[in-house]
Structure 1
Amino acid sequence: MSRFTSPDFLRQAGTRREHANPPPVVDLARPSLARLHSFHLKGKDHFEVDRDLALEAEQVAPGFQDLVMGERAFLQRAVRHLSEDLGIDQFVQLGAGLPAPGDPHEIAPEAKVVYVTDDLMVLAHHRALVRDDRTIAVEGHLTRPHALSTDPAIGGFLDPDRPVGLLLAGTLSHVGTVDNPTEHLATLRGLLPAGSHAVVSHYHRPESAVYPKDANRAEQLQRVFRTRLNSGYWRSREEILALLADWEILSPGLIEVQRWRTLPVAPPVPGSYQMPQRNRRLLVGALARV
């Protein structure tokens, strides 16, 4: 993965920039999922509190970085498939992270991409990039689907009559049952044009009777994330499928993300990263259709 420093990366990204005024307040006492991922993707937008979380996750599940990089590679493969094979040319990524090389707008350069986040630091970074007229960033969250459907920025940017690729890589893993993710997903599904697809990946807790070591790692990771981030759920296969009850899950179904349209490691291209065997069962994904 390419390295980038936030200031240089922002300056080199485009000819126009927007600046947050006032800049977002960063809580250095609490880790951030976006900054944690920046650390694992070899970025520099992270602080000691985020690195402490990374270390704790590594201690309970050696190779935790596998999950971050494997999930990102899955997203890249899925975006390419939707764009090149299915002709989808507009995407909405819910729970977008900090900008990094290989983001969806780079995988599908002819498509329009809406980056949605409720992290004001992430929002400021994306807005600072104002790359061209094919990307925008808005504040929002999966649990507020109607706000997204009525957002004038999105409404003026996307074609309401064309299919959308809804990108939910890791998003559902950080929405608790108390927040009714199934209901919000169903609402989103009803708002999407015909022919739309959803890319979903989720932390997975394997059956303890079959894979006791993997199940234990999943439980330990959930404990760490719930304690440090107040989010992060490793759900069973049945629980994940229940979240997608209203969607048509396409072949090959809900599987380990590493097995979904796997690419050879050479030549290295976005999506070619292959997860080591040790943590593959802890992350599953699927492509679903409206």
Structure 2
Amino acid sequence: MSRFTSPDFLRQAGDNHVRAEPPPLVNLTRADITRLRSFHLKGKDHFEVDREFAARADRIVPGFVDLVLGERAFLQRAVRHLVADLGITQFLQVGAGLPAPGDPHEIVRETTSEGRVVYATSDPVVLTHHLALIRDGRTTTALKAELGRPEGLLEDREVHDFLDLDRPVGLLLTGVVSHTPDAVAASRSIAALRDRLAPGSHMVLSHYCRPDPVRYRKDALRAEQLQELFLGDLGHGHWRTEEEISAFFDGWEAVPPGLLQAQKWRTMPVAPPVYGSYQMPHRNRRLIIGGVGRI
């Protein structure tokens, strides 16, 4: 194990320098999903072990970065739709990653100055980054929580102080359920969150997909190989079938165009380039799907 120390670990955040005491432990012997995403998003928070893992994933699925960028663009389009078209101004992202340009709070601010975004993560490194760089106490905040403990999340004082749970909330679950080993437990957690949210709330969910092996044999094989790599090296990362993924939407009404390839959900023109306009190449589109549900 290795340990970062401030100020090398964190940058200045406005006039304040947030120092984690003690600094979070960072395992440099094993790849980490949040650092892997940072690498694919051209961030700075990754190490050789993460880059080596990314190279192995790319050998299995050339252009693996497509999945990361495609999932993120789907999230950006979905958040923009919820804000601009449906008037939802408060969001809860569970399983937040390291801060990066185009995060949900930036999409919200394109439309309204009244938006509020809570980032929840169980990763102490991610949390420290958010507290240092993103949290302003007025429009954005971050807290330690995880999908597997929904009761603790919604009972958190900061959530109650920051979000009005009597009004619709946008629940953002992109990139988190794929890394939850127990699908039944994940469904229970999502249902528990759903039951506590106000009518008119929406859920944005994306997931790695294992296509039908009869119709898409090569894609199904690549999904199986990626899952083997992820489980072996990270301990999590599941490519589930569309039927398994659709079960996470039980109790939610599907928002058109439904659950489908993430790239096809309200696709935007590539020009002008804005958050959400990235278009996945055809080669990997079947390997990740997403949808939006409402209550």
TM-score by length of 2: 0.93
Residue among 104, 119, 126 paired with 2:123: 119
Shift of 1:134: 0.6
Secondary structure at 2:293's aligned position in 1? Answer: strand
Amino acid at match of 1:80: R
Shift of 1:193: 1.3
Counterpart in the other structure of 1:271: 276
Residues 151-186 of structure 1: CA distance to partner in whole angstroms, max 9, x if unpaired?
A: 111111111211100001121101112661111111
Paired with 2:148 and 2:238, the residues of 1 have a C-alpha distance of 16
* Maintained 8 Å contact 1:15/1:131: no
Shift of 1:278: 0.2
Paired with 1:22 and 1:9, the residues of 2 have a C-alpha distance of 13
RMSD (Å), alpha carbons: 1.6
Secondary structure at 2:63's aligned position in 1? Answer: coil
Amino acid at match of 2:106: E
Paired with 1:194 and 1:240, the residues of 2 have a C-alpha distance of 23
Residue ranges of structure 1 left out of the alignment (5+ in a row): 1-5
Counterpart in the other structure of 1:3: none
* Maintained 8 Å contact 2:166/2:197: no
Matches within 5 A, 1:194-209: 194-209=199-214
Counterpart in the other structure of 2:24: 24
Matches within 5 A, 1:241-280: 241-280=246-285
Paired with 1:117 and 1:179, the residues of 2 have a C-alpha distance of 21
- CA spacing shift, 1:7–1:280, aligned 2, 3 Å: farther
Residues 231-279 of structure 1: CA distance to partner in whole angstroms, max 9, x if unpaired?
A: 1000001111112222212221110011111111111000000000000
* Maintained 8 Å contact 2:257/2:266: no
Counterpart in the other structure of 1:84: 84
Matches within 5 A, 1:57-72: 57-72=57-72
Counterpart in the other structure of 2:141: 136
Paired with 1:66 and 1:121, the residues of 2 have a C-alpha distance of 25
Query: Would you say 1:233 and 2:238 are equivalent positions?
Result: yes
Counterpart in the other structure of 1:47: 47
Counterpart in the other structure of 1:96: 96
TM-score by length of 1: 0.94
Amino acid at match of 2:270: V
Paired with 1:218 and 1:289, the residues of 2 have a C-alpha distance of 29
Paired with 1:243 and 1:201, the residues of 2 have a C-alpha distance of 10
Paired with 2:15 and 2:167, the residues of 1 have a C-alpha distance of 29
Paired with 1:61 and 1:14, the residues of 2 have a C-alpha distance of 40
Secondary structure at 2:263's aligned position in 1? Answer: helix
Shift of 1:20: 1.2
Secondary structure at 1:278's aligned position in 2? Answer: helix
Give the percent of matched residue pairs that are identical in Structure 1 and Structure 2. Answer: 56
Secondary structure at 1:136's aligned position in 2? Answer: strand
Query: Would you say 1:159 and 2:164 are equivalent positions?
Result: yes
* Maintained 8 Å contact 1:196/1:289: yes
Q: Which stretch of structure 1 is more off in the superposition, 199-208 or 156-165?
A: 156-165
Residue ranges of structure 2 left out of the alignment (5+ in a row): 1-6
Amino acid at match of 1:115: Y
Q: Which stretch of structure 1 is more off in the superposition, 175-184 or 230-239?
A: 175-184
* Maintained 8 Å contact 1:253/1:286: yes
Counterpart in the other structure of 1:287: 292
Amino acid at match of 1:270: Y
Paired with 1:243 and 1:74, the residues of 2 have a C-alpha distance of 18
* Maintained 8 Å contact 1:92/1:114: yes
Secondary structure at 1:239's aligned position in 2? Answer: helix
Query: Would you say 1:182 and 2:187 are equivalent positions?
Result: yes
Paired with 2:104 and 2:158, the residues of 1 have a C-alpha distance of 19
